[in-house]
């Protein structure tokens, strides 16, 4: 037990160290005043629309996760599942050193439904994987639209069916009870990521950016994949570092790129913070 506690604290310390180091490096390379100016002059109405779109994306994501839950034998309402999803977001973003949002959802569902934790774990894991799969497919499409694709156009396209059918084959062979919902959940994932891409565009619009959307979205998708890795606090620092180097690669304004990343994190934090209510009033989740 003591080893497990020590491991959690070590993981938390490493995540904090990575986050702080990455942010320190990023802020040493940009003009903080320019970023502050972008924030202060941004259009509130556009940011509000971006917030609404992000909420829509998370609602679709929760609906997708419920499809996986139902294949494990868990039958809960969409509203119940949405509350669980928001609670998980809160734990993942604000309490990264503990059991984590996914772990807490597995614990609650195992406790209240009796479904084996292992089956619930695979549902949650596949939900994460299918989200990254959609990110990868959209990334390939955006890559095709950038100057980087010259000479690689046809090779790049083959990656999409290869990734999709590899995921289907893996699921069908190892977890056949999820096979029937593979393509349905991929569609949901695409809508989730498209909504978040639109959210990024609205943030850029609020900053007064009117061009190079393809390049910004290409870097945004890469940063979303990097942010999904459990190496920092809620992806903070890792996403900004990706935007820093991505802006150099794509010829984007570095300050605007980092500001986009930070604003997207703020929107994520605002939505995730609503889960604090359900962490206090767990009786309200049902």
Model confidence pLDDT, tens digit, residues 127-183: 999 999 999 999 999 998 888 877 776 777 889 999 999 999 999 999 999 999 999
Rounded Cα–Cα distance for residues 218 and 204 (Å): 14
Report if pTM > 0.85: yes
Which pLDDT band, with edges at 50, 70 and 90, does 99 fall under?
Answer: low
- Is it the case that residue 52 has pLDDT exceeding 90? yes
- Mean per-residue pLDDT, 195-207: 97
pLDDT of amino acid 272 = 92
Report the range of poorest mean pLDDT among 19-23, 58-62, 77-81, 215-219.
Answer: 19-23
Q: Contact at 8 Å (CB) between 212 and 184?
A: no
Q: Contact at 8 Å (CB) between 91 and 104?
A: yes
pLDDT of amino acid 195 = 97
- Mean per-residue pLDDT, 40-55: 95
pLDDT of amino acid 147 = 83
Handedness of CA 37, 43, 46, 51 (dihedral sign): positive
Which residues 6+ apart lie within 8 Å of 163 measured at CB?
133, 136, 137
pLDDT of amino acid 97 = 52
- Residue 262: CB atoms within 10 A of its CB come to 20
- Is it the case that residue 5 has pLDDT exceeding 70? no
- Is it the case that residue 9 has pLDDT exceeding 60? yes
pLDDT of amino acid 24 = 87
How high is the mean pLDDT of the chain?
89
Residue 18 buriedness (CB in 10 A; 0-12 / 13-18 / 19+): middle
pLDDT of amino acid 13 = 76
For residue 236, report the phi and psi dihedrals to the nearest 5 degrees: -65, 135
Q: Contact at 8 Å (CB) between 15 and 237?
A: no
- Mean per-residue pLDDT, 100-126: 89
- Residue 77: CB atoms within 10 A of its CB come to 10
């Amino acid at each position: 037990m003591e080893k497990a506690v020590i491991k959690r604290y070590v993981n938390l310390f490493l995540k904090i160290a990575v986050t702080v180091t990455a942010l320190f490096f990023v802020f040493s390379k940009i003009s903080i005043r320019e970023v502050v100016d972008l924030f202060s002059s941004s259009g509130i109405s556009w940011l509000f629309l971006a917030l609404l779109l992000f909420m829509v994306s998370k609602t679709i994501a929760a609906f997708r996760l419920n499809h996986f839950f139902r294949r494990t034998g868990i039958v809960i309402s969409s509203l119940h599942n949405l509350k669980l999803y928001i609670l998980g977001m809160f734990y993942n973003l604000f309490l990264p050193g503990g059991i984590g949002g996914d772990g807490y959802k597995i614990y609650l569902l195992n406790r209240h439904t009796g479904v084996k934790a292992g089956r619930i774990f695979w549902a949650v894991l596949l939900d994460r994987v299918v989200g990254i799969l959609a990110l990868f497919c959209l990334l390939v499409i955006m890559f095709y639209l950038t100057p980087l694709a010259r000479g690689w156009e046809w090779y790049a396209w083959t990656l999409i069916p290869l990734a999709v059918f590899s995921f289907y084959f893996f699921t069908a062979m190892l977890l056949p009870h999820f096979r029937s919902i593979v393509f349905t959940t991929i569609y949901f994932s695409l809508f989730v990521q498209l909504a978040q891409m639109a959210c990024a565009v609205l943030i850029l619009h609020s900053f007064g950016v009117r061009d190079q959307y393809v390049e910004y979205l290409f870097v945004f998708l890469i940063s979303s994949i990097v942010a999904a890795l459990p190496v920092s606090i809620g992806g903070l620092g890792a996403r900004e570092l990706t935007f820093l180097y991505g802006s150099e690669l794509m010829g984007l304004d570095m300050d605007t790129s980092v500001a986009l990343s930070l604003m997207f994190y703020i929107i994520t934090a605002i939505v995730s913070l609503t889960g604090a209510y359900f962490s206090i009033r767990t009786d309200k989740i049902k």
